Amino acid sequence: MTDHVPTPPPSADPDSRPFSGAVAVARWVDDMVHGELREPFVLPEARLYVIPTGQSRQVLLYDSDEHPYLLLERTNDHAAFSAAALVVTGWCAPTDPTDPSGRRPSEHPSRQRVRITVAIDDRGIATVMRRDGAPDEPEVMDDRGEGDLPDALERWWRGVLG
């Protein structure tokens, strides 16, 4: 586990930013990570950020790992947090239910690099995604989205990851 590293909000005026709700947390963490990366889709390890219970203006880089699912598995003290966000980079590709090949997104001819921030709190789950080709245009989804990542984060939050 890495040291807890306090990170300031990305806004020059922190009082102007909302700090509650999964959408706000996802946007806050995504903006912060976007501001610090030279290459928006190069993140060698998944990162887990948390907001400690009782806090609303402090986000901590809690831990990181090359494998996001292992990161969640070994981080089990989530009850001490009022919110959390998992940030990963990877590939996405269009889904085609008529394509029987079952190829991975990284092997698809129309693949794109992406960075995904999935945030969760007691009220819900939200996702922010940035795509190669439009890295400064985050897509904000006020729902859990689809896939293994939000599923795992939700199980982790409920304490049933396994």
Classify residue 114: in a domain, yes or no. yes
Residue 128 belongs to domain spanning: 5-94+105-158
Residue ranges of the alpha helices (H) in 66-147?
Answer: 68-74
Determine which helix (DSSP H) or strand (DSSP E) holds 125, and give its type and residue range: strand 124-131
The CA distance from 57 to 39, in Å, is: 26
The CA distance from 16 to 98, in Å, is: 47
State percent of the chain over pLDDT 70. 83
Q: 162 falls in which pLDDT band (50, 70, 90)?
A: low
The closest of 128, 129, 93 to 110, measured between CA atoms, is 93
Q: What is the pLDDT of residue 10?
A: 44
Classify residue 88: in a domain, yes or no. yes
Residue 102 or 125, more confident: 125
**Environment class of residue 110 by beta-carbon count within 10 Å: exposed (0-12), middle (13-18) or buried (19+)?**
exposed
Classify residue 20: in a domain, yes or no. yes
Q: 148 falls in which pLDDT band (50, 70, 90)?
A: confident
Classify residue 99: in a domain, yes or no. no
Q: Which residue has the tokens 């997104």?
A: 105
Contacts 24+ apart (CB under 8 A), 132-141: 132/41, 135/34, 135/40, 135/41, 136/34, 138/27, 138/30, 138/31, 138/34, 140/23, 140/26, 140/27
Classify residue 100: in a domain, yes or no. no
Q: 94 falls in which pLDDT band (50, 70, 90)?
A: confident
For residue 9, pLDDT over 60 is answered with no
Q: 20 falls in which pLDDT band (50, 70, 90)?
A: low
In total, how many domains does the chain have? Answer: 1
Mean per-residue pLDDT, 41-69? 91
Mean per-residue pLDDT, 129-155? 88
